[in-house]
Amino acid sequence: MELFWYIVLMSMLAIYVVLDGYDFGAGIIHLFFAKKEKDKKAITNAIGPFWDANEVWLIASGGILFFAFPTLYASSFSGFYLPLIMILWLLIFRAIGLELRGQIHNKLWEAVWDKAFGIASFLLALFFGIALGNVVRGVNLGMVENGVSAHEAHYFFLPLWNPTFSPTAEHLGIIDWFTILLGLLGAVTLTIHGANWIIFKTNSELNNKLKTVIFRLNIVLVSLVITSLVLWHIIAPKPFHNFMERPWLWVFPLLTLVGLFGLFGVRTYKKDGMGFVCSALFILGGFATTAASIFPKVLPSTNTVNPSLTIYNVAADEYGLSVGVYWFIVALILLIAYIFIQYRVFKGKMDDIGYGEH
């Protein structure tokens, strides 16, 4: 049952990154590239009917984490307390930036909430990449110092950064040069993903410019991917040992590469949705590759005193996991029906829906 709920949790998180990821990316495009009012409206129209529903996947993932892996929930929500609070505030400012902008038709008012929406979107993309970097790097479980564990084996707490800014220090921080690299990778990825969504859902005058932006950013993305893979071998030796033992797992890196190199053709695709498919494949493949590389670990330990947290030592009781399957099936049916209806109602281009106009 632990494996079943792990697959459910990872799948829901991956879906969240794909769906809410294009919202973040659209916000970044809104911040840096949308200069005209009609371009800003096109972007908010493209994501307006979807952004709050997309966040349901994050809430549902948190519920699954709490139910199926309570020890991991307790450990991570205390250890990553500072960045989680920051993410919460950024989610709030992104939302009110979208909702409050159209309440008063005043240039100063609109400019303030435009910045709130765009900056919050950029920082969210950055922080989620940094979060992935923390999981890949691991944390000092038990707060071990000089070979002695100061707390129980699953406890840790991280400041925002450590004095050395190093991912190999005994006392780690949320932000170091490795996690920043993953944060930048995440921000670039979601910027490309958001641009592809805007192209897919609008006829904005920005679209031709965005295709060039995607092509150029994809060159940056390739360099960041290569650099992160090289440095990953320094931070965590033999990160692909699972792929050597289970060759079928190579399907995930293959999907990642298909999506990554498919993005170079965004200027030639006749169908607007092809770019979005490629960026979604890259995100799904990259997320699955990362999860598969550290499996069965869910939070690696950087010390040798306390063991890493795995799906087996953080899971709830077998009985609870089994009973939860029935309720999960009901919830999944309702969620799929809701998402299907929503995306069917708002299919096609979204230029004329007038989101946020009051």
pLDDT tens digits along 292-345: 998 889 999 888 888 889 999 888 888 888 888 888 899 889 888 888 888 888
pLDDT above 90 coverage of the chain, percent = 40
Residue pair 130/175 in contact (Cβ under 8 Å)? The answer is: yes
Strands (E), 285-326: 297-299, 309-310
Neighbours of 337 (CB within 10 A): 10
Which of these ranges, 21-30, 49-58, 275-284, has the smallest mean pLDDT? 49-58
| Local confidence band at 357 (pLDDT 50, 70, 90 cut-offs) | low
Whole-structure pTM value: 0.91
Report the pLDDT averaged over residues 62-88. 90
Report the pLDDT averaged over residues 39-68. 87
pLDDT of residue 272 exceeding 60, the answer is: yes
> SS3 breakdown of the chain: % helix, strand, coil, rounded to 5?
70, 5, 25
pLDDT of residue 76 exceeding 80, the answer is: yes
Across all residues in the chain, what is the average pLDDT? 88
Report the pLDDT averaged over residues 49-67. 87
Look up residue 276 and give its two tokens: 């979005």
Peptide bond into 296 cis (omega under 30): yes
CA distance 327 to 331: 6
pLDDT at res. 199: 92
Residue pair 52/327 in contact (Cβ under 8 Å)? The answer is: no
Strands (E), the chain: 144-145, 148-149, 297-299, 309-310
CA distance 157 to 200: 42
Residue pair 6/72 in contact (Cβ under 8 Å)? The answer is: no
Residue pair 192/211 in contact (Cβ under 8 Å)? The answer is: no
Give, in order, the Cα–Cα distances in Å from 219 to each of 1, 170, 193, 225, 262. Answer: 41, 35, 14, 10, 12
pLDDT of residue 110 exceeding 90, the answer is: no
| Local confidence band at 204 (pLDDT 50, 70, 90 cut-offs) | confident
Determine the distance from the C-alpha atom of residue 320 to the mean position of all C-alpha atoms in its chain, rounded to a whole number: 28
pLDDT digits (tens, 9 = 90+) for 123-169: 999 999 999 999 998 888 888 887 777 788 888 888 888 888 888 88
Give the DSSP H or E segment for 249.
none
- According to DSSP, the β-strands at 297-299 and 148-149 are unpaired
Using the CB atoms, write b or e for 76-114: b if 16+ within 10 Å.
Answer: beebbeebeebbeebeebbbebbbbbbeeeeeeebeebb
Report the pLDDT averaged over residues 92-113. 84
Give the sign of the dihedral formed by CA 181, CA 187, CA 193, CA 195: negative
